[in-house]
């Protein structure tokens, strides 16, 4: 059954019939498993990965993405969970991870401009109790996201073979 989830994670548009064919599991079992995962929250949502740079003439697509490392003072009994959950509620925040290393949390934040991300950090994030420090890293170019490469495919320079 894990194979169904792995296939859906790679391509959410696969039909239940296609998944059944690919896994050798009957369609009814595939459909039941997916319905159960959706209702339990194991499958959170289905989404498209969009290369906004490839969308012609859509100026509303311009966004600035930043990774923000956050250093926290832990609290007895909750550690970092309460602050991480509070940060995750901001609409600008796309993801929050507890990480190893010199920082405690890594957040992915999106804004319309660098200034918008800067304002988020200075006015919302850094004012949260127990936030000791932040380090912001702006994304300059995306090469790969969610397992999808954004690199332009190289032209095929091979000579044709004839019989």
CA pair distance 155, 146, nearest whole angstrom: 24
Length of the chain: 163
CA pair distance 54, 56, nearest whole angstrom: 6
Residue 119 pLDDT grade (very low, low, confident, very high; cuts 50, 70, 90): very high
pLDDT, position 60: 55
- Write out pLDDT tens, residues 1-34: 899 998 898 888 999 999 999 999 999 999 999 9
pLDDT, position 58: 56
The SS3 of residue 88 is: helix
pLDDT, position 59: 53
- Write out pLDDT tens, residues 73-118: 988 888 899 999 999 999 999 999 999 999 999 999 999 999 999 9
Mean pLDDT across the stretch 132-161?
85
The SS3 of residue 17 is: helix
CA pair distance 2, 34, nearest whole angstrom: 11
- Write out pLDDT tens, residues 30-63: 999 999 999 998 998 887 777 776 776 655 557 8
In terms of pTM, does the model score above 0.75? no
Q: DSSP class of residue 121?
A: I
Query: Positive or negative CA dihedral for 54, 56, 60, 64?
Result: positive
């Amino acid at each position: 059954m894990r194979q169904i989830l792995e296939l859906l994670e790679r391509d959410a548009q696969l039909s239940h019939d296609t998944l059944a064919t690919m896994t050798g599991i009957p369609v009814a079992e595939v459909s039941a498993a997916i319905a159960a995962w959706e209702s339990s929250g194991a499958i959170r949502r289905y989404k498209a990965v969009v290369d906004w740079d490839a969308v012609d003439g859509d100026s509303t697509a311009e966004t600035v993405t930043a990774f923000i490392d956050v250093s926290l003072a832990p609290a007895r009994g909750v550690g970092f969970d309460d602050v991480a959950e509070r940060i995750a509620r901001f609409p600008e925040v796309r993801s929050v991870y507890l990480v190893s290393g010199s920082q405690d949390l890594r957040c992915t934040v999106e804004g319309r401009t660098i200034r918008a991300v800067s304002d988020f950090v200075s006015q919302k994030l850094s004012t949260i109790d127990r936030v000791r420090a932040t380090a912001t890293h702006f994304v300059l170019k995306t090469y790969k996201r969610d397992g999808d490469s954004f690199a332009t495919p190289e032209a095929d320079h091979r000579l044709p073979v004839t019989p």
